[in-house]
Amino acid sequence: MVERSGPEAGLSGSTPVAAAPLVAVDAVSKVFAGHGGGAETRALDDVSLEIRANEFFTLLGPSGCGKTTLLRLVAGFEHPTAGTIRLDGTDILPLPPHRRPVNTVFQSYALFPHLTVAENVAFGLERLGRPAAEVKDRVAAMIALVRLGGLERRKPAQLSGGQQQRVAFARALAPAPRLLLLDEPLSALDLKLRREMQGELKRLQRETGVTFVLVTHDQEEALAMSDRIAVMRAGKVLQLGAPAEIYDRPATRFVADFIGEANIVAGARVGSPAPFVAIRPERTTIAPAGAAGLAATVTAVTFLGSDTLYDMELAGGGAMRARLREPVPGLAPGASVTAGWPADAARPVAEDP
Amino acid sequence: MSAARGFDWRRTPGLGTFTALVFVFVYAPLVVLVVYAFNASNLALVWGGFSVEWFAKALGNENLRRAATNSVIVAVVATVAATLLALPAALALERGRAFRGKAAAEGLVALPLVAPEIVTAIATLVFFSAIGLRLGLGNVALAHIVFCIPFAMLPMRARLREMSPDVENAARDLYADEWQVFRRVTLPLMAPGVVAGAMLAFIVSLDDFLITLMVADAGATTLPVYLYGMLRLGVTPEANAAATILLAVSVTVVVVATLVMRRGERAVAA
């Protein structure tokens, strides 16, 4: 049964008022019943995290990790099997989606095809019963914010994908929500437009001061835009922190491999007490055979312009990759070498839960 | 024909002839019906020159006019009632949560589509006499409402199935309560399906013969039943003319429904 607590429950918590988070997800699990007698799916497994006011927060993980489910629970389209979700200290689980001060930008945009751009943007404000003059001003301001001036009377079908995307942002931001949820909003755009919209999203967040929660499977996108990232896998949060922190000090083997690239070596082989160590390819070095390090054989050399990639097979099994600024003259596949790294480059990482 | 182009069933030898024969088979009776409606002779199947006198006669026949009026009254009542009943049913089956007996409910609602019409006709007749219902044309209208519901529901469900629930979720997310979601988003988007369902119900009601024959009292005859009575007294071009008018009405309704559907699809295709 779902545990529900009153709005006062948020005030009795042990967290000091000054550090009260905007969103507090506490021990949330979501189990989907299997269809036609199939096995049930545990989409979220005892997830707890806090989102601060005005931050750009990202839920990052591969498909099926539960990130979209968590977003839908906050929006109110799904109900958790266990746990609580508080917004400004108030339990929002009893509230239907239309009573939550939270708006969503859908992956499919989900614009209203029978309404014009201006009518789409005005929809939320009108449902909130704002006076007509205020709605008009706010719609104009939002359309200017997303730079769609002149397209107010178009229908969504008459817009390009990027323009539809901007309407979706304007529509969701117009009611000035406490929280904006973005479900892989850039995944339908081509690469060039996606890079452009990443900057645009950062600008929108800065200018509106609204807290953004982004769901994505694109680690570059997450690193580029987020204040903090929660890396998820199989319904669990593996690590939560600032982008640099997650990149430099990955907590588990999966995080090290998913965020950027990493060579994962068993701790025992390199004298580390941790189960594994992760070494970034750009910090991996290549020395002549016999030097201190791991004996290896070069299997492939890939010239990338600015860098050169060296793939190596370790003598004791396993593979490593080095990404060097300066190519090693005469080093070709088949050569025996030693793979090494500076002491501070080997990050101890835990096995995944 | 080049082998390099690969197999294309449209290039099967004789396909054109075969297609033409199928069209002849399907439409020749209709062409004959319409042509002989303009026959000057008073024998239905002997050509006596072109004339529109049978149309004039058909339109001047008071019994025929009454039957046609009954048909229209029944069809309008059945269309409105069946559409209003099918709409919530379509929403419950396509958008509602899973409920116990959902599959059974779907089957029961669709039963008139698959049950032999004679079974429905006899069941309706027996049911009405068992409860002693004698509403004249009202009996006919009631029977029509029942078998029109599944027809009205078909295009509505098809429409709902192709509408992404995300759009309705977006409305919910933007502070619309359930009623506002329905009125401002679901209904406008499914409108072409509702119109098509209503048109289908209208046509099915207008063309129904078997159930009406069983249920209708003497004064509550509809056009198809009256035409059948006319033919039993000998086939005259007057019956052809009346049938041609019925055909024209049916085709018009179907064409309008198709156009409305297509326009709606274009509006939604984003």
SS3 A2: coil
* A188/A245 same-domain check: yes
Q: Are residues A58 and A197 in the same domain?
A: yes
- Is B156 part of any domain? yes
> Which of B97, B173, B185 to substitute to test the interface with A, most A CBs within 10 Å?
B173
Question: What is the rounded (10 degree) CA torsion for B233, B237, B239, B240?
Answer: 140
Res B68 pLDDT > 50: yes
pLDDT tops 60 at residue A247: yes
Q: Residues A228-240: what's their mean pLDDT?
A: 95
Cβ(A318)–Cβ(A278) below 8 Å: no
* End residue of a domain, out of A220, A238, A253: A253
pLDDT of B101 reads 82
Give the pLDDT score at B270. 40
A229-239: average pLDDT: 95
Residues of A in contact with B166 (CB under 8 A): 106, 108, 110
| pLDDT tens profile A303-316 | 988 899 999 999 88
Task: Report residue B267's pLDDT band, with 50, 70 and 90 as the boundaries.
Answer: low
Residue A12 has pLDDT above 80, yes or no: no
Using a CB-CB cut-off of 8 Å, the residues of chain B touching A128 are 175
When pLDDT is averaged across residues B173-186 and rounded to a whole number, the result is 95
Instruction: Assess whether A244 and A294 both reside in one domain.
Output: no
**Kind and range of the H or E element at A84?**
strand A82-87
pLDDT digits (tens, 9 = 90+) for A331-353: 889 999 999 999 888 889 998 88
Pick the more confident residue, B259 or B84.
B84
Using CA coordinates, name the residue in chain B closest to A102.
B173
Neighbours of A164 (CB within 10 A): 21
Which tens digit of pLDDT belongs to each residue from B102-126? 888 888 888 888 889 899 899 999 9
CATH code where residue A235 lies: 3.40.50.300
Pairing of strands A179-183, A102-105: parallel
Answer whether residue A302 is part of any domain. yes
pLDDT of residue A38: 67
Structural domain containing residue A172: 53-80+95-253
Mean pLDDT of chain B: 87
- Number of A/B CB contacts below 8 angstroms equals 75
Q: Kindly report the CATH number assigned to the domain that includes residue B77.
A: 1.10.3720.10
Number of domains in chain A: 2
ipTM of the modeled complex: 0.82
Candidates B167, B180, B269; nearest CB to A112: B167
| Whether residue A264 sits in one domain with residue A249 | no
What is the model's pLDDT at position B159? 93
Average pLDDT over residues B209-228: 89
A156 shares a domain with A65: yes
pLDDT at position A113 is 94
Residue B34 maps to a domain: no
pLDDT score for A100:
95
Give the closest residue to A215 by CA, choosing from A41, A23, A74, A90: A74
**DSSP state, residue A267:** G
pLDDT at residue A290 is higher than 60: yes
- B108 occurs within a structural domain: yes
Say which DSSP state A38 is in: P
Nearest CA in chain B to A172: B174
Express each pLDDT in A47-66 by its tens digit.
Answer: 999 999 999 999 999 998 99
Give percent of chain A with pLDDT exceeding 90.
Answer: 70
Q: What is the pLDDT of residue A225?
A: 92
Separation between Cα atoms, residue A72 and residue A78, nearest integer Å: 6
Q: Is A221 helix (H, G, I), strand (E, B) or coil?
A: helix
Average pLDDT of the residues of chain A:
89
Pick from A236, A329, A345, A337: nearest CA to A283: A345
Same domain, A134 and A246: yes
Same domain, A243 and A104: yes
What are the residues whose beta carbons fall under 8 Å from the beta carbon of A331, sequence distance 6 or more?
A: A286, A298, A301, A310, A337
User: B172 and A124: CB-CB below 8 Å?
Assistant: no
Residue whose structure tokens are 């297509």: B262
pLDDT band at A11 (very low <50, low <70, confident <90, very high): very low
Chain A: closest CA distance from residue B128 (Å): 41
Determine the 3-state secondary structure of A83 from DSSP. strand
Would residue B129 count as lying in a domain?
Answer: yes
Find the CATH number of the domain harbouring A324.
2.40.50.140
pLDDT of residue A258 exceeding 50:
yes
Residue A330 has pLDDT above 80, yes or no: yes
Q: Clarify whether residues A245 and A278 are in a common domain.
A: no
**pLDDT at residue A47, rounded to an integer:** 95
Task: List Cβ neighbours of A271 (8 Å cut-off, separation of 6 or more).
Answer: none
The pLDDT value recorded for residue A36 is: 60
Is B234 a member of any domain? yes
The average pLDDT across B13-26 equals 90
Contact A49, A25 (CB under 8 A): yes
Among A23-27, B103-107, B153-157, the least confident range: B103-107
> Which residue among A227, A253, A279 closes a domain?
A253
Q: What is the 3-state secondary structure (H, E, C) of B187-200?
A: HHHHHHHHHHHHHH
How are beta strands A90-91 and A228-233 bridged, if at all? unpaired
Weakest-pLDDT range from A63-77, B34-48, B125-139 = B34-48
CB-based burial, A277-306: b 16+ in 10 Å, e otherwise = bbbbbebbbbeeeeeebbebebeeeeeeee
Q: Are residues A249 and A267 in the same domain?
A: no
- Distance, in Å, from the CA atom of B88 to the CA atom of A37, rounded to the nearest integer, reads 29
Q: Alpha-carbon torsion A65, A68, A71, A77, what sign?
A: negative
Number of domains into which chain B is organized: 1
The span from the CA of B189 to the CA of B173, in Å, is 18
Q: Cα separation of B84 and B257, whole Å?
A: 17
Q: Is the confidence at residue B151, as pLDDT, over 50? A: yes
Answer yes or no: do A114 and B180 touch at CB < 8 A: no
pLDDT given at position B98: 76
Give the CA angle between residues B232, B26, B46 to the nearest 5°. 45
- Report residue A15's pLDDT band, with 50, 70 and 90 as the boundaries: very low
In sequence order, what DSSP letters do the residues of A102-131 get, joined into one string? EEEE-TT----TTS-HHHHHHHHHHHTT--
> What local confidence, expressed as pLDDT, does residue B236 receive?
77
How many Å apart are CA B223 and CA A280, to the nearest integer?
84
Asked if pLDDT for residue A14 goes beyond 80, the answer is no
Give the distance from CA A11 to its chain's centroid: 29
Does A217 share its domain with A276?
A: no
Q: Which runs of consecutive H residues, i.e. helices, occur in chain A?
A: 67-75, 117-127, 132-145, 161-173, 191-208, 219-225, 243-248, 253-258
Q: What is the pLDDT of residues A137-171, one digit of tens each?
A: 999 999 999 999 999 999 999 999 899 999 999 99
Both tokens of residue A167? 């309407």
Structure tokens belonging to residue A148: 């769609």
Cα separation of A32 and A42, whole Å?
6
Q: How far apart are CA B69 and CA B222, in angstroms?
A: 8
What band does A2 get if pLDDT is binned at 50, 70 and 90? very low
Percent of chain B's residues with pLDDT above 70: 95
Residues A226 and A298 grouped into a single domain: no
Domain limits at B252? Answer: 53-268
| B185 to A112: CB separation less than 8 angstroms, yes or no | yes
Q: Is the pLDDT of residue B237 over 60?
A: yes
Query: B185 contacts in A (CB within 8 Å)?
Result: 112
Residues A293 and A234 in one domain: no
Rounded Cα distance, A96 and A331, in Å: 64
pLDDT of residue A13: 40
- Which of A237, A253, A269 is the last residue before a domain boundary? A253
pLDDT at B53 over 60: yes
Nearest to B268 among A75, A77, A113 (CB): A113
pLDDT at A5 over 60: no
Q: What pLDDT score was predicted for residue A226? A: 95
Q: Is the pLDDT of residue B135 over 50?
A: yes
Structural domain contains residue A299: yes
Residue A89 lies in a domain: no
Task: Report chain A's terminal Cα–Cα distance, integer Å.
Answer: 26
Length of chain B measured in residues = 270
In the beta sheet, which residues pair with residue A265? A277
The two most distant CA atoms of chain B are separated, in Å, by 72
Please name the residue of chain A whose CA is at the shortest distance from the CA of residue B188. Answer: A114
